[in-house]
Each structure stands twice: as C-alpha cells, then as structure tokens.
Structure 1
C-alpha cells in the first residue's frame, strides 16, 4: 500500500526532535523517499550530502525492538534511525561508531503508525556497506561483502544461500554433465537457467546480486543510472504475482537510487517509467523547513503520431 510517500529534502537547519535523545538543530542535509507526518520525515531510504546512504527493508517475523530503554546508550526508535545516522555521520566508519552506542527501543510514532519490522542497509562512497539487524538476541552489524539486501531471511542466511547458485553464469554453459551425452544448447542465456525467478525475497536477493555483479559500468551518468534501474527492475514485483490477501497483491510501488558523489536522487514508479531526477544541491540547504516533491506517478505515453 502507499503511505503517501514523497521525495523529501531535509535541509541542514531543520530541527530533528527525538523521543529520548536531545533535539538536533544542525546536521547534514539529506534526500530520499519519505512519508511526512506532523512535519516529521519518516524516511524509507535516504542519502546525505556527504555521500552516506541508508535504506530500511521489511524484516517481518525477525525484527525485535526492546520495550525498555538502556542506560548509557543512545535510545533511538527505529523510525528515527535513518535521520539519526544520516544527520551526524559522513561515512561508514562514523556510522559504525554511532551504531555501537545505539539501543533501538520500541516507541511507535503514534497509535495509528506503529513501528515497521525492518533491517537496514548502509553504504558510502567507498562502495562498502553494512547491514543492521535488531533480533531478540541483540543488535547485529554485518559487513556486507555483496552490497545487496532484500527482506527476510536474516542476512547471514541470505549469504549462505548464495552457495546454491555458484554455477549460474551469464556465459553459455559447458558440458560437465557427461562426456557420453551430447547437449543441444537451444537458447541463449542457458547459463542463467537456474537463477531463481520467484517473487520471494530470497530469490530476489540472488537475482539482484547476479544482475548487479554482471551489469556493465559506463563512463557517464545517464548510462549508469539507466543500468541501475535495469538492475532494480529485474527484481520488481508486477501486480498479480504476489498475493497477500483475497484480491490483494504486493507490488513495487517505486524504485530509486542516489548518486552519492553528486547528491542526485532518481526514481521511477510503477506507473511512471521515465526516470525523475531531484538535485539536492540545487535547493537552499540552509533552510529550516522540509522541501517536498510529490511523486510523479501517472502513466504517460510518448505518442509520435
């Protein structure tokens, strides 16, 4: 379902108020997809002006947030996690130090907006990334050697599952079956025949990583952004394929990316396939109020006659 998400730029002097921690009046500016409630940006994913990005992904059934605060820790609600990190950290090393002091405590935004069960991906301009998971046995921080995250299961299980796909390749296969059997390689792409094609998050993790790992790198922004969206669209969910209730289906509402070097934010939606760009640095980042762009989500045709 839609939560009224919009592209939101939070400038440096917007007051970030936290439930258990002091208000931050000056911080790094950030841009991303967010719902805004009571003038507060509830970011789904965002990146700051220093080139640190962060995204929350569904982690239902595993995410656990303790009810009690922990003395001596930074008690942060999960809905505050993204602005707490992106507001203060310029890179992954700084984020790790701040996370070491964090205690994610169960505080809902409101009665109508309870916490979402999430785990998080954080990355910086170096290309390195980490995964944060809050489980019943504590808060875990994993180095992410593959730079990919989807939803369940826990990240270590996602990595282990990759072992089942070591034979998947963009190249045509060679006959390792038997020298007594001749094969007719009847189609291009047979090297990826065993790539999982399901809508489940484990299949999408493998498919996203395979596509990302083999995608070409270009020397210009347009081609790289275009390639990036092809990676995301390789794992998007069309309507009608992932039933979550009677006549109700999960589907990919939007896809986005950020150039961490330039502060350029891009997105597409289920209905609007043209890539929309928002340049954070064209805004007055010294302001103290949110800068909001409604999502472009209308089907449009480029009619030539």
Structure 2
C-alpha cells in the first residue's frame, strides 16, 4: 500500500499524484515508459485495476508519480481519483512493469496526444541525460487541457506544441522519410496512433513504438474451434472453448495467472509459449515479436494450432 503524499492539478481534467510508502523508504526501481497498476474502488463497490504511466523522476527512490485524466466514460476509476481521493489516503499499487521501454537510438521523435504525454516525459529526461538528440510533437484539445507545458517550455524549439483548437490536427508529413538509427515513440488516443502508423510505413517495424490506452481492433480469431492448452510444469491439459479466453479457462481450472486490464494492453498476463503457435490478439507486440511466437498474453490471445504449450 502506498500513501497519497500530494495531489496537484496539472491541467484542465488532469491531476498528478505522488505516492509514497506510509513509513517512508525506497520503492522498486523503474525505467522510462514503465507503468504501475493501481487498485481503485468502483462505484458499485467492486475493485477496479487501472494502469498508469509513471511520469516523475525515475531517480527519486522514495515516490512514484502518475498523472490521471478525468475520463467522461469512466467506469469509476478516474472519477474516484479526481473526486474522492485525498492526500493521506492509501492505494494498493503493483510493481512497475514496462512494455514501452526506451531503446537505443541516434535520435528520438516523440509524439504525444493528450494524457499520452505522461510516459514521454520520462523518456525526454532520459534522452537529455544520455545527450541524444530528440524532438517532441505534442497535441491536445487546447492549451488548458495539456499537462506539463511549464516543464516542457525550458526545452525551447525541441518541443512543438499544437493545441487542436488553435492549429488543428498534428501534421505528420515529416515522418515520411525515416531517420537512420532513429526511433519514433508515440502515445495518445487511437486516431493519433493510427495516423502515426500510416505516416511511418517507410520506417523499420522495430523503429516505431506505440503505447495504447485501449486495445487495437483485432480481426476474427484464426481458429474457430476449441483448442487445448498444455501446462508444461504440471503436464495438465485444459480445453479452451470458443466463448472463453485462455485466462478464463486457466482460472476455472484453478491455475492462477496475474492479470490486470484483460484487454491485452498492460502486459500483466504474459506467459512463455513452449510449443504451438499463438494467435496474437494483444496491442503490445510488434510484428517481429509476434513472429517469434515465444510468448502470449492470455487475457486475449488464443491459439492457431490445436494444442499450445505454456510455461505454467
């Protein structure tokens, strides 16, 4: 459990939380792009697990900082944080995990939309320490809704601010030509991610990284019949039906796998694949990572083959 040590308004509809151990002390280390799971009460009384990108100083050992957008369609999580959570309250928080790690590059192009600026802030700090060239293109509905503008102002022309009500949608034409050794990191709403993906078709697949808030639209499963999951450690076999996920089938059989989002965006339920071919239905792996077939996220992914062997 961590205590809310500070709660600040960053922008219209955005608050920042500083979370510390109640008795003080060092928290587990993390790297740029990492997120934490936060357990929140829902309006119906059931717990919600939400993951939020860390946006504070990664060299501060005593606290985690997250920024939370008030979501109009919230199922209770962001509404609770904005309206009810107070300084001094406690939250159950998971250990940092990272599916959006900052890879080595000669130059970074960061692109953020709205609250998608949160993981990018930590990447900018890392690029600065490493003295690697970078640029940020940051869009939002309006200046009032865009967090961290004061902090970003010190970087001068390395940051381009584009409020939609002043300048319209982001111009991504500059992405048509790949940068040798460069990488693109993008976080924001789905239309922005789609636009960046379309603009970077000439870039190597591994050079463009996305962090999603919601799962990408997936095609129909490759396999329309039930399949068998073999658990390598116990040699148990479990049948997964057409209307259930691997995670649900495992749970029904008494096999516990840690999970969070149940949408294939957080990476909590990653399991190693030892045999068979996974039908990847997550929003995390790129094409090269999918082609390896050595892991899957059991909350959404299924099997191409009649049998798949998991390291469980």
Name the TM-score, length of structure 2 as normaliser: 0.28
**Greater relative contact order (Cα < 8 A, sep 6+):** 1
Name the TM-score, length of structure 1 as normaliser: 0.28
